Amino acid sequence: MPKYEPVLLKNILTPGYAGDLAAYERAGGYQAIRKVLKEYQPEQVIDLVKRSGLRGRGGAGFPTGTKWSFIPKDPSVPKYLCVNADESEPGTFKDRELIERDPHQMIEGTLIAAYAIGAKVAYIYIRGEFTLGAKVLARALDEARAKGYIGTNVCGSGREIQVWLHRGAGAYICGEETALIESIEGKRGLPRAKPPFPAINGLYQRPTVVNNVETLGNLPHIINRGVEWYTSLGTAKSPGTRIFSVSGHVNRPGNYEVPLGIPLRELIEEHAGGVRNGHRIKAIIPGGASAAFFTPEHLDVKLDFESVAQAGSMLGSGGVTIMDETTCMVWAAYNLMGFFHHESCGKCTPCREGSGWLHTILGRIEHGEGRAEDLAQLEHLCGNIAGKTVCAFGDAEVAPVLSTLKHFREEYEAHIREKRCPMGERVLAHAGH
Ligand SMILES: Cc1cc2nc3c(=O)[nH]c(=O)nc-3n(C[C@H](O)[C@H](O)[C@H](O)COP(=O)(O)O)c2cc1C
Ligand code: SF4
């Protein structure tokens, strides 16, 4: 018996579940959109989702119903829904599984959200690398169109909701909501300065909501099972379940759906099978590569938005990466910075130039050429990037550096003092060199 009842992963975990329209309908699918169209005004759906306390699963954890309520009500103004299926955060792979193995759950959620905000058109923006996901979604959209769930007369209600698939070209920044919007418009994916926010001036300068795949996947369940059921899961401020993508040095990496608020230790030890080869945990990233590192001291932190933030990191995208004692933390920061430097879109000088300098300095420390003043230089650079850029990528790229400097400073100092990586060969062996 599983300890918790899966909600979003329930179908996927059912043996033999094919993920096509017939299978989804047999499992109770598309009942929620029928109910919504028949029984609720759009305002009532927004109110229900507000009362459910659902918070976005894409990174920032903003309350979904509140975000929807910023959309102007004027029916003559076209509005858009963009589904963020870009999932580029390193260590995060939950949306991919939801898309590839149960696409209709997400499509039903998309229809509910589009109805609630009065959008006749929704775009699913899927990252370029998700070739299988794009194929599966294209087929699922065709099935849903043929059965009248998508089109000019959704379920015979007289309502029009079109859903189109848009493939990205594989840039991390296109997961940022305004860069995603620019990309759908056919432009280079650069974030826009905010305000104005997409709710007022989004896709094609029209009111737009951008929602994550997992966020939308919750909607059919909230409609079918009600607000009370939903708020009975998780914590008061972070209700519901969350899919955590667990990777790194654990025995059973994978996606695990649990109620928000379980301790980090339980996720790692009971669900992911503990650390491989009986090793000890050294560091944990609790919410994707943009989140500050935790240490074993944080194993009792509860996995909900508030508790993780209070402990100095963020729940972010739900990607939990475990590193054991064989990991060199300077190497880990260097490696992550290589990613951030490569993916900086280049729009702001602090991020474009700063990520390169951070990468260079981390590299020379890791390779035994660090200088005594390098640690202060790293901190100085981070202080000139965070909070000084157009988008939150700037804050993201400094998190691994500042948190490893905070928790593993003696390891940086040993690299500089000994003029080599103290873990050297072991690290290279793990990296496959
Ligand atoms: C650099 C950057 C990358 C992001 N990448 C993603 C992503 O891959 N997927 C995602 O859903 N949200 C991503 N986000 C968050 C989105 O901008 C946006 O907040 C989210 O899609 C909103 O959906 P939600 O309210 O359902 O969470 C990213 C944000 C930033 C700053
Ligand atoms: S912070 Fe970086 S990724 Fe974001 S807009 Fe500026 S340069 Fe681009």
Residue 410, classed as helix, strand or coil, is helix
| 253-283 pLDDT tens trace | 999 999 999 999 999 999 999 999 999 999 9
CB 260 within 8 A of CB 241: yes
Ligand closest in space to the Cα of 88? 1
Q: Is the pLDDT of residue 430 over 60?
A: no
- The answer on pLDDT for 244 being more than 70 is yes
Omega before residue 196 within 30° of 0, cis: yes
For residues 149 and 201, is the Cβ–Cβ distance under 8 A?
no
Confidence of residue 424 (pLDDT cuts 50, 70, 90): confident
Distances (CA, A) of 116 to 61, 70, 85, 170: 19, 12, 20, 30
Could you tell me if the CB of 196 is within 6 A of ligand 2?
Answer: no
Residue with tokens 């305000």: 195
Whose tokens are 């920044």? That residue is: 173
Q: Is the predicted pLDDT of residue 168 greater than 70, yes or no?
A: yes
Instruction: Decide: 173 in ligand 2 pocket, CB within 6 A.
Output: yes
Looking at residues 410-417, what average pLDDT do you find? 97
Number of alpha carbons in the 13 Å side-chain half-sphere of residue 97? 16
pLDDT at 1 over 50: no
Q: How far apart are CA 328 and CA 324, in angstroms?
A: 9
Over the Cα atoms of the chain, what is R_g?
Answer: 22
| For the CA of 390, the nearest ligand | 2
Nearest CA residue ID for atom 22, ligand 1: 211
Peptide bond into 195 cis (omega under 30): yes
Our answer on whether the CB atom of 351 is closer than 6 Å to any ligand 2 atom is: yes
Q: Are 80 and 87 in contact (CB under 8 A)?
A: no
* Mutation to probe ligand 1, out of 55, 87, 127, 176 (largest number of atoms < 8 A from CB): 176
Instruction: Give yes or no for a contact between 371 and 363, defined as CB atoms under 8 angstroms apart.
Output: no
Distance 87 CA to ligand 1 centre (A): 8
**pLDDT digit string, tens, across residues 170-195:** 999 999 999 999 999 999 999 999 99
Query: pLDDT tier at 3 (50, 70, 90 boundaries)?
Result: confident
- Output the CA 148–ligand 2 centroid distance in Å: 41
pLDDT tier for residue 428 given thresholds of 50, 70 and 90:
low
Q: What is the mean pLDDT of residues 314-338?
A: 97
- Give the closest residue to 107 by CA, choosing from 169, 42, 165: 165
Whether residue 384 contacts residue 364, with contact meaning beta carbons closer than 8 Å, is answered with: no
> What band does 432 get if pLDDT is binned at 50, 70 and 90?
very low
Check pLDDT > 80 for residue 433.
no
Q: Is the CB of 177 under 6 A from ligand 1?
A: yes
Q: Please give the Cα distance from 164 to 355 (Å, whole number).
A: 35
Are 222 and 230 a contacting pair, CB within 8 Å?
A: yes
Which CA distances in Å does 130 have to 88, 255, 265? 10, 17, 31
User: How many CA within 13 A on the CB side of residue 132?
Assistant: 8
Overall average pLDDT of the 390-407 stretch:
98
What is the predicted pLDDT for the residue at 425?
58
CA atoms of 31 and 16, how far apart (whole Å): 21
258 lines ligand 1 (CB under 6 A): no
Q: Around 413, how many Cα atoms within 13 Å sit in the side-chain half-sphere? A: 6
From 84, 96, 99, the mutation candidate for ligand 1 (largest count of ligand atoms within 8 A of CB) is 84
Task: Point out which residues pair with 82 in neighbouring strands.
Answer: 123, 210
Average pLDDT of the chain, as a whole number:
96
Residues contacting 155, CB < 8 A, separation 6+: 30, 33, 34, 37, 148, 149
In tens, the pLDDT along 203-238 reads 999 999 999 999 999 999 999 999 999 999 999 999
Mean pLDDT of 308-314: 97
Shortest-distance atom of ligand 1 to CA 177: 17
pLDDT of residue 224: 98
